[in-house]
Amino acid sequence: MKILAISDMVVDRLYSAQVAERFHDIEIILGCGDLPYEYLEFLVTSMNIPLLYVPGNHDPVYDEK
């Protein structure tokens, strides 16, 4: 299983329209915190694969209410 592990920095190479083509063999994304939620949403939508996410110490508080 190939995992894309990301944290702390937005990578322009990933934040592009070609991400699904470039990383076609990735099966899951592991978000290790401190990334904008919009960036994670873009990756999940573009690559159509699951995301496991661990909040970082600089992430905004997420309230499920």
Task: Give the pLDDT confidence of 19-35 residue by residue, as tens digits.
Answer: 999 999 999 999 998 99
Q: Are 32 and 6 in contact (CB under 8 A)?
A: yes
Residue 60: pLDDT band (50, 70, 90) is confident
Q: Which residues pair with 30 in a beta bridge?
A: 5, 52
- Average pLDDT over all residues of the chain: 91
Cβ neighbourhood burial of 49 (10 Å; 0-12, 13-18, 19+): middle
